[in-house]
Copies of this chain bind each other. A is one copy, B any other.
Amino acid sequence: MRATVIHGPKDIRVEEVADPRIELPGDAVVRVTHACVCGSDLWAYRGVAARQPGQRIGHEFVGVVEQVGAGVGGLRPGDRVLAPFVWSDGTCAYCADGLHTSCPQGGFWGEVGSDGGQGEAVRVPFADGTLVRLPDDVDDALMPAVLALSDVMSTGHHAALAAGARPGATVAVVGDGAVGLCGVLAAHRLGAERIIVLGRHADRTAVARTFGAVDVVAERGEAAVGAVRELTGGQGAHAVLEAVGTEESMRTAISVARDGGAVGFVGVPHGGSAGVDLGQMFNRNVALRGGVAPARAYIPELLADVLAGRLDPSPVFDLTVRLDEVPAAYAAMDERRALKALIAF
């Protein structure tokens, strides 16, 4: 079969690889129908996150079960399924707690020895615990929205929960990438009273507005902090979603939080902790929560809303490519010509 492989910085290729097969009784093989490219894939593409040459890549996919191992009880060939961006056994204490990302048997698609999502098929370990079955009659038109639950929408939801987005709250979202936009949508879904998005890309903040943001702050750094404070009567936002992952974005996020508020951080941290102003957190009781989102825990609830037409994160996809065009999709996202690329098989 064909799959996307990373050979080095800016060297992404679609090439022939071995077909996946059942290796353990809990495995399934899933034929991918929809996948996508994540902003976090760009860290590998740019060489900032190290990868071994020849590693697979891609961690978001929807597909059809092709084969199941003898130990799989809840899935059959032909089932349509959604995969969260990590696999997990579904049975450990962490999975029971809803923190599937800490499952000791879990792993990340594309890590050494595993398949990536940007390929024609994927071997799925712990298929019963990992995959979420979709209704047989799910409308194809909903698949982009469903696919977004694999990572970006679940991650935005995690940020919103961690930050304490809730009815009555003023929410600030730092970052206008796909996760930031999904954070806006998640905060809106959780009933936030007012949502401010911090971003400087007009096409993206336009999406943020359709997702529920009422204010856009294009400034950065101290100017952004001043702008958010001015918009909030000097107080800052009850809940702040940090969806970038740089020192500057963290510094901004903490600074725009209201005293007693929280920063929900989901931007993969690149750089040190210098942006974490402990003195400010201490004096103003600003909390910092979040991390890698346990998408598997959130998907059932979010999927119900997508299927019912109450939640639609699909506008984060502004480019659709075929598998052969994936390298071009990385380049388009890297050069900010595209926000997020959907791969249709």
Residue numbers of A with Cβ under 8 A of B are: 93-94, 97, 99, 101-102, 162, 235, 250, 259-260, 262, 265, 268-269, 272-274, 276-279, 281-292, 294
Contact = CB atoms under 8 A, between A and B. Distances in A.
B102 A260 contact: yes
Nearest to A97: B260
A99 B259 CA distance: 8
A252 to B, nearest CB: 15
Main SS of chain A's interface residues?
A: mixed
A102 B292 CA distance: 31
A287 B285 contact: no
A288 B287 contact: yes
B260 A94 contact: yes
A292 B250 CA distance: 21
Most buried by B among A94, A99, A235, A287: A287
A278 B279 contact: no
A294 B94 CA distance: 33
A139 to B, nearest CB: 34
B292 A282 contact: yes
Contact of A279 (B235, B259, B269, B286): B269
A288 B290 CA distance: 9
Nearest to A286: B291
A169 B3 CA distance: 45
Contacts of A99: 259-260, 285
A164 B260 CA distance: 16
Given A94-B260, A260-B97, A290 B279 contact: no
